[in-house]
């Protein structure tokens, strides 16, 4: 099958390079962010344009080859690579084009968050997205997209105006809420199930001065600090958001304020005194700096697992469960990461997008991080069991983008939305060509 695939790729003539196991940069080309996903595609096509994307889809469908689509390569389960099939690498489609007069920005299907922020932030605008600048715009947006300014401006999908999509039949179309409302509903949370997005258009939001406070608390004070954080955060307006990370080394709190800068001190400083005075500081910070602060910690090729869920609020029993679980974390970098939601995220009705969990107050993940492959089993086991303790206390919906385990779509979306997504999938991709994602099964297909 791989011979046929390579022959067809040669025949069809792509503008971008086809990288195969014999090529010098094959090893680099096959890599994705999570070192656990060490896979060996028969070929990597680094698409140069939309026509290359169309050709890759045609060839994969004709050869019945597994097709992996890679935007930023951050998929936790490694769904943007494959063994033996075709990896369609979109990294060259990474443009970010600002149109201030229209109030929009366009990002290519392989753009990273740093490309999107780089196009908008220097001109005083923002599209709400994630917290690590080497994450892909595509995968993040298609699942929902939450980050530092989501409480103020919504999820990434809430700023989405339309996309250029190449579907399984090879056709290239622009779609938006007027042209294909059902597909536009589905791509706002339904992941890469319906086609390859080659261009996103987003609405801009004005971004004023940003103030950030960051404090550390020792483990002995973590319980009091998290409880106090929950009490304070509940009273804050949407221009405020807080996230915290709990490791064996203690608690780290990051609070962000994007409202009137005269109120920054009042909004942020109590988070530096949650259980006695925390170690840290607060002040104005360039947004681009905030967006790349975690880049090195979440470096490519380390080993990761994550499992998460939504809480309505921070309650005493989830704080106790986290503290008990973190004590047995197998490495110092294993963490619980919790980010505040609500505000503009909850302004959108649950049924208006495929994304599920609009009314949640927080998103949490249990995320083991390690480097030695010999630790895979115990780290993944810790992640699963730690998440299991928190899942008991979570609401029914889930966020498909932050899960290392696959086959979770029906539970994450719930029965009604999942059924609606299956109808859409059956219309657009009846043979499930796009199956390396949190897969929505078309009717009549069986799990692969």
Ligand X SMILES: Cc1cc2nc3c(=O)[nH]c(=O)nc-3n(C[C@H](O)[C@H](O)[C@H](O)COP(=O)(O)OP(=O)(O)OC[C@H]3O[C@@H](n4cnc5c(N)ncnc54)[C@H](O)[C@@H]3O)c2cc1C
Binding residues for ligand X, rule: CB under 6 A, are 32-33, 69-76, 79-80, 90, 109, 130-132, 135-136, 138-140, 142-147, 191-192, 196-197, 298, 401-402, 436-437
CA distance 90 to 134: 14
Closest separation between CB of residue 260 and ligand X, Å? 25
Closest separation between CB of residue 90 and ligand X, Å? 5
For residues 224 and 302, which CB has a smaller minimum distance to ligand X in the complex? 302
For residues 422 and 435, which CB has a smaller minimum distance to ligand X in the complex? 435
Q: Are 14 and 45 contacting, i.e. CB atoms less than 8 angstroms apart?
A: yes
End-to-end CA distance of the chain: 17
Closest separation between CB of residue 194 and ligand X, Å? 8
What is the full DSSP assignment across 271-301?
GG-SSSPPEEEEEE--HHHHHHTTTTTT-TT
Calculate the dihedral angle through the C-alpha atoms of 287, 293, 299, 300, rounding to the nearest 10 degrees: 0
- What contacts 329, CB < 8 A, 6 or more positions away? 247, 248, 335, 368, 382, 386
For residues 136 and 272, which CB has a smaller minimum distance to ligand X in the complex? 136
Q: Which two tokens stand for residue 389?
A: 């303790």
For residues 323 and 348, which CB has a smaller minimum distance to ligand X in the complex? 348
Closest separation between CB of residue 244 and ligand X, Å? 14
For residues 194 and 215, which CB has a smaller minimum distance to ligand X in the complex? 194
Closest separation between CB of residue 100 and ligand X, Å? 25
Q: Are 91 and 110 contacting, i.e. CB atoms less than 8 angstroms apart?
A: yes
For residues 272 and 339, which CB has a smaller minimum distance to ligand X in the complex? 339
Closest separation between CB of residue 352 and ligand X, Å? 18
For residues 35 and 191, which CB has a smaller minimum distance to ligand X in the complex? 191
For residues 71 and 250, which CB has a smaller minimum distance to ligand X in the complex? 71
Q: Are 18 and 10 contacting, i.e. CB atoms less than 8 angstroms apart?
A: yes
Q: Are 323 and 244 contacting, i.e. CB atoms less than 8 angstroms apart?
A: no
Closest separation between CB of residue 273 and ligand X, Å? 27
Residue 367: C-alpha distances to residues 11, 245, 386 (Å): 44, 10, 9
Across-strand partners of 134? Answer: none
Q: Are 354 and 424 contacting, i.e. CB atoms less than 8 angstroms apart?
A: no
Closest separation between CB of residue 359 and ligand X, Å? 17
């Amino acid at each position: 099958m791989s011979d046929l695939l390579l022959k067809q790729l040669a025949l069809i003539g792509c503008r971008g390079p086809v990288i195969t196991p014999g090529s010098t940069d094959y090893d680099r080309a096959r890599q994705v962010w999570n070192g656990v996903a060490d896979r060996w595609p028969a070929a990597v096509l680094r698409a140069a344009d939309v026509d290359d994307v169309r050709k890759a889809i045609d060839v994969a469908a004709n050869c019945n080859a597994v097709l992996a689509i890679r935007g930023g390569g951050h998929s936790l389960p490694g769904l943007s690579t494959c063994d033996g099939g075709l990896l369609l690498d979109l990294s060259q489609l990474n443009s970010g084009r600002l149109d201030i007069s229209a109030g929009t920005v366009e990002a290519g299907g392989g753009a990273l968050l740093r490309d999107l922020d780089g196009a908008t932030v220097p001109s005083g605008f923002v599209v709400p997205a994630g917290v690590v600048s080497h994450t892909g715009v595509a995968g993040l947006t298609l699942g929902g997209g939450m980050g530092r300014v989501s409480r103020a401006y919504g999820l990434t999908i809430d700023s989405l105006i339309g996309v250029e999509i190449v579907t399984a039949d090879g056709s290239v179309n622009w779609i938006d809420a007027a042209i294909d409302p059902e597909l536009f509903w589905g791509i706002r949370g339904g992941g890469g199930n319906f086609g390859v997005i080659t261009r996103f258009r987003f609405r801009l939001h004005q971004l004023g001065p940003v103030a950030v406070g960051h404090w550390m608390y020792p483990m002995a004070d973590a319980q009091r600090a998290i409880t106090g954080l929950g009490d304070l955060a509940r009273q804050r307006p949407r221009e405020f958001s807080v996230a915290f990370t709990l490791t064996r080394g203690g608690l780290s709190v990051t609070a962000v304020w994007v409202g009137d800068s005269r109120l920054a001190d009042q909004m942020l400083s109590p988070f530096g005194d949650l259980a006695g005075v925390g170690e840290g500081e607060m002040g104005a910070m360039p947004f681009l700096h905030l967006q790349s602060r975690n880049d090195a910690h979440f470096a490519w090729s380390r080993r990761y697992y994550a499992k998460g869920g939504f809480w309505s609020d921070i309650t005493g029993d989830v704080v106790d469960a986290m503290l008990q679980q973190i004590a047995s974390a197998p490495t110092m970098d294993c963490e619980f990461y919790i980010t505040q939601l609500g505000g503009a995220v909850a302004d959108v009705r649950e049924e208006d997008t495929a994304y599920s969990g609009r009314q949640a107050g927080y998103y949490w993940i249990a995320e083991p991080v390690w480097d030695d492959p010999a630790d895979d089993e115990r780290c993944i086991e810790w992640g699963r069991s730690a998440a299991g303790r928190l899942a008991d206390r979570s609401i029914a919906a889930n966020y498909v983008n932050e899960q290392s385990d696959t086959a979770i779509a029906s539970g994450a979306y719930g029965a009604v939305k999942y059924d609606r997504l299956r109808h859409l999938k059956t219309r657009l991709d009846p043979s499930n060509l796009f199956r390396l994602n949190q897969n929505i099964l078309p009717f009549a297909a069986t799990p692969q």
